[in-house]
Chains A and B, each alone.
Chain A
């Protein structure tokens, strides 16, 4: 057997394994999204009712979080924790290389859960360069902070934000806002550089 043939066989083997793995994962993903959709409708109703009756706001939760923990808030999510609705806030402190996560109850902003973890492994950050660039870009003075993004989202549709998350794609940073509007979850994307809504395509 020549060297070329050997390389050919090894490459084919690797390729086949890769293809099988991809097929298996996609199948798993497909089945999981299907079952998720049903639960979500019910959950949205509860959340909308809860938000409507709530006396606290997301901005207050942020203030409560900030009074205790340093870092750039990258995600706020309305979550169900032991049959209790909470604002789950995640922040990343780049200087300390830590991630903080705290939950505040919807009705009186009591901190019910907190944990933090180091983002460093053997001196290397677990975050990739794009994550770091996104966090740094919104930490700059003049950039759209998460507070500002909430303000924009509220002004946009005067509705109830279910979650807001800092995202990025190929170096472009944006906030992904999920809000509940008439029992439907809708999504708004806000450009983190300009504070404008990301345009959507009309047709074709």
Chain B
């Protein structure tokens, strides 16, 4: 018994079983309801109408018994008994039995309550249903042959049992089939999850291509997995980059300190010897503050600092700030404005983004390059005619601390583009990088296109 309950509990834990049982149950309920209604409309209706008619005849005879002479009453009763085909009308007084039956059985219930009794009809024994009315001088019986109705009833019951059994079988099979189909889809999700859990981020949920709810779920999960995979790659990339980029300056700091300590015995440490150390440490601190700022920006939600910002003014300020450096490098900066250029945003962040973009262009485009800043209603575009970035690195330049091999000789932390992107995304826009042969175009939007 206990094992049977365990078995059932275990079975019931499975969705396929619960679905099958529920499905079959609902189907059974439905079929039962249909059968019930059918019965009431067919056999139930016949039975009720028979009873009504029977009571009508009984009442009629009772009425006549009160109105007519006894002999007249008996006469009409015999006549009616002879004429009515569907009904048995019989009467018995102390002397004789009249009507359709050889005698009126006793122990039958008074109308309108019906009772069943046997009547022999030649070799046949049939069941009749009827009731009696006790009159002043005798007993009246009105009844109808119940055999056909009973036969019909039995046929109906048998048919119902067969159809319910068929329902159980069909319901069981189809429920099981449907749930198996459903589970097959879910299995794909489970398998993908298991593979991911084992550490393989490349696993994806299979899609049937039908575009149904499961496919939508699958594509959402797959997209999520792709994003997570990128994030994890980025995290590990950052770790590697930190290790790589900070080891060198830290190594230099250590070397300088070591030689200073060794030399300390011979001659005192001079301030000039410590200055490069300070610069190195400042750079390291700057890298970390930038990283922190970037993190804060990426998690920032509040837009309380937003105001109407005039891009023209910001662009002019940024160019002015960069002009001395650009002049050193013999670079020219062109500004292309458009008339209506205020947009909602954080003034200092937009300035940072614009300045960083220009500074990047100036830093990597090389001496004598031409830098063009073009202001757009949704943001700005910076173009240069420098060496550009190979297409395969277009995605990577947005990773934190990522630096192209060619730019390692240049001073920098690999945080410029990530910061620009974080600012753009914070404002609801994005950054795209594309090559202009020759040169590079960095296009920054600060508004979602839909909002413009």
Measured CB to CB, the residues of A under 8 A from B are 169-172, 174, 189, 191, 193-194, 196-204
Contacts and interface: CB of A to CB of B under 8 A. Distances in A.
B193 interface: no
B118 A169 contact: yes
Interface string B117-130: 11111000101000
Nearest to B115: A172
Nearest to A170: B127
Interface of B: 82, 85, 88, 90, 99-107, 116-121, 125, 127, 150
Name which of B85, B101, B118 has the most chain A CB atoms within 10 A of its CB.
B118
B127 A199 contact: no
Contact of B101 (A172, A174, A193, A202): A202
Nearest to B98: A202
Given A191-B105, A197-B102, A197-B103, 18 more contacts: A169-B125, A171-B116, A172-B118, A189-B125, A191-B117, A194-B105, A194-B106, A194-B107, A196-B103, A199-B102, A199-B105, A199-B120, A200-B120, A201-B88, A201-B102, A201-B119, A202-B101, A203-B100
Interface of A is mostly: loop
B100 A172 contact: no
Given A198-B118, A199-B120, A172 B106 contact: no
Contact of B120 (A172, A196, A198, A204): A198
A204 B452 CA distance: 97
B16 to A, nearest CB: 20
Name which of A171, A172, A200, A203 has the most chain B CB atoms within 10 A of its CB.
A200
A200 B119 contact: yes
Contacts of A169: 118, 125, 127
Contact of A172 (B90, B99, B127): B127
B107 A201 contact: no
Nearest to B141: A199
Given A169-B127, A170-B127, A196-B106, A203 B82 contact: yes
Nearest to B127: A170
A170 B119 contact: no
Given A194-B105, A199-B105, A172 B117 contact: yes
B118 A202 contact: no
A193 B120 CA distance: 16
4 A-B pairs closest in CB distance: A199-B101, A200-B120, A200-B102, A201-B121
A199 B103 contact: yes
B82 A193 contact: no
A169 B116 CA distance: 11
Contacts of A193: 107
Contact of B121 (A172, A191, A196, A200): A200
Name which of A170, A191, A202, A204 has the most chain B CB atoms within 10 A of its CB.
A202
29 contacts: A169-B125, A170-B116, A170-B127, A170-B150, A171-B116, A172-B116, A172-B117, A172-B127, A189-B120, A191-B105, A191-B118, A194-B106, A194-B107, A196-B106, A197-B102, A198-B120, A198-B125, A199-B105, A199-B119, A199-B120, A200-B120, A201-B100, A201-B119, A202-B99, A202-B100, A202-B101, A203-B82, A204-B85, A204-B100
A202 B100 CA distance: 5
B102 A202 contact: yes
A170 B118 CA distance: 10
A199 B106 CA distance: 11
Contacts of B99: 202
B186 to A, nearest CB: 25
A128 to B, nearest CB: 15
B144 to A, nearest CB: 12
A171 B118 CA distance: 10
A71 B100 CA distance: 39
A108 B100 CA distance: 46
Nearest to B92: A199
Contacts of B119: 198-201
Contacts of B104: 199
Name which of A169, A198, A200, A201 has the most chain B CB atoms within 10 A of its CB.
A201
Nearest to A167: B125
Contacts of A194: 105-107
A138 B125 CA distance: 20
A189 B85 CA distance: 25
Contacts of B100: 201-204
Contacts of A201: 88, 100-102, 119-121
Name which of A191, A194, A196, A198 has the most chain B CB atoms within 10 A of its CB.
A198
Contacts of B127: 169-170, 172
Nearest to A168: B118
Contacts of B88: 201
A170 B119 CA distance: 13
Nearest to B143: A199
B105 A200 contact: no
B171 to A, nearest CB: 14
A86 B149 CA distance: 43
A172 B99 CA distance: 24
A174 B102 CA distance: 17
B118 A189 contact: yes
B88 to A, nearest CB: 7
A194 B104 CA distance: 12
A174 B105 CA distance: 13
A172 B121 CA distance: 16
A143 to B, nearest CB: 12
A120 to B, nearest CB: 25
